[in-house]
Amino acid sequence: MSWENVSTSLIVAADEVDLIGRSDGSLPWHLPSDMRHFQQLTNGHVVVAGRLTHDSIMAKLGRPLPGRFTVVVTRRTGLPPVPGVTYQPDIASAMTTARGIEGFAGRRQLFVIGGAQVYAQALPFVDRVFLTRVHTHAHGDVHMPEGWLDAFRLVKAEKSDADQIAVTYSEYVRS
């Protein structure tokens, strides 16, 4: 399979006003069912993450996301090598690298997993969005860009109240 056949999906959890996090890299909620949903969708695929998102995963888990290869977007050079991780200086290079790795492995879908700057820069490359709409107004200061879903149409939505906060798992495709 070649990289041309690889689709790009964006996966994000956002509250009612598109808040996705805090500038310290933390999430404004704890949703174990959403973490399982994220793991089920992304496991076995290449993920594209910004350096801060990657650093927060490394701090929390002590390693990259298991079962996934991570392409980190960063302008920093000289970062120590980490098995299962490669670094790229910009989103275009990261997307090309991720598509190549995913296609070489015979898979068809890579995932953009954040943070906000990477999401914003990746939107032109995205074919599909997996949005966990968190039905609350959380405290934080990192949002998705204005109108970010305008180029997409809803194809699936499923409500869940498995955690303390109700959510809707939605899937959008580019219109």
Q: What angle do CA 11, 154, 171 make, to 5 degrees?
A: 30
The mean pLDDT value for 9-28 works out to: 93
The mean pLDDT value for 7-25 works out to: 94
At 2 the pLDDT is 53
Q: For residue 162, what pLDDT band results from cuts at 50, 70 and 90?
A: confident
Percent of the chain surpassing pLDDT 90: 90
What tens digit of pLDDT does each residue of 24-81 get?
Answer: 878 899 999 999 999 999 999 999 999 999 999 999 999 999 999 999 999 999 999 9
3-174, which class in CATH?
alpha beta
Mean pLDDT of the chain: 94
Q: For residue 5, what pLDDT band results from cuts at 50, 70 and 90?
A: confident
What tens digit of pLDDT does each residue of 89-115 get?
Answer: 999 999 999 999 999 999 999 999 999
Q: For residue 3, what pLDDT band results from cuts at 50, 70 and 90?
A: low
Is-cis flag, bond preceding 115, omega within 30?
yes
Give, in order, the Cα–Cα distances in Å from 171 to each of 3, 19, 104, 153: 23, 18, 26, 8
Max CA pair span of the chain: 44
